[in-house]
Amino acid sequence: MLFRSLPEKSEAEVRRAKRILDALRRRHPDAHCELDHGSPHELLVATILSAQATDVGVNKATPGLFARFPTPADYAAATIEEIEPHVRTVNFWRNKAKSVHGAMTIVHERHNGRVPADMDLLLELPGVARKTANVVLGNAFGINEGVVVDTHVGRLSRRFGLVDPDEEDPKRIERHLMALFPRPSWCLLSHLFIFHGRRCCKARGALCDQDPLCRRYCSN
């Protein structure tokens, strides 16, 4: 479900946001979801595992996990203890194994093995908050319900002057981005920000002084 109201933005703010979006598209034409997956339920599992973990680390764990549990029914038929060895290399693996088992059990039992393409239904699943639901909706179903706000998106939103420099709340950042950028771009927008944040506008060792896009739009 969309937020009931979004912040008011001036035409000048929207035009500047469009210039940033266009520049990021030119800079990172290959921007995409970097979690390896072959189906909606695999993306859901990978995204649950990615909380406070790197995509690289998750991608190392999921091949064995996906091979052992090919369908939601396979997770549901297993125990949490049987899932744990396959995710042990990921941060908070015990809690995540429990969430994966719970989410896949609900998908199997309530949704006939199909991941629901609905924000409210996704939020009912263990281990799924709005960010995870946005990842699944945007990348598995092409539904732009919101903008994924991770640490990279939050950092670049502040540095690009799209939100207050002290703003830390992901939901408030998301609302501002939704107000500034056209809805069809929301899923891609997060990929563009993440690509740029990982490759240039880093939290540490930023290369902003070497990048024309950052020199034009970044405040740091």
Q: What is the DSSP string of 150-166?
A: -HHHHHHHHHTTSS-TT
Residues 21 and 189: beta-carbon distance below 8 Å? yes
C-alpha separations of 105 from 37, 98, 100, 115 in Å: 19, 11, 8, 11
The verdict on whether 150 is a catalytic residue reads: yes
The verdict on whether 131 is a catalytic residue reads: yes
- Supply φ then ψ for residue 151, to 5 degrees: -65, -35
Tokens representing residue 3 in the block? 């937020």
Exactly one of 55, 150, 202, 211 is catalytic; which is it? 150
- Catalytically active residues are 131, 150
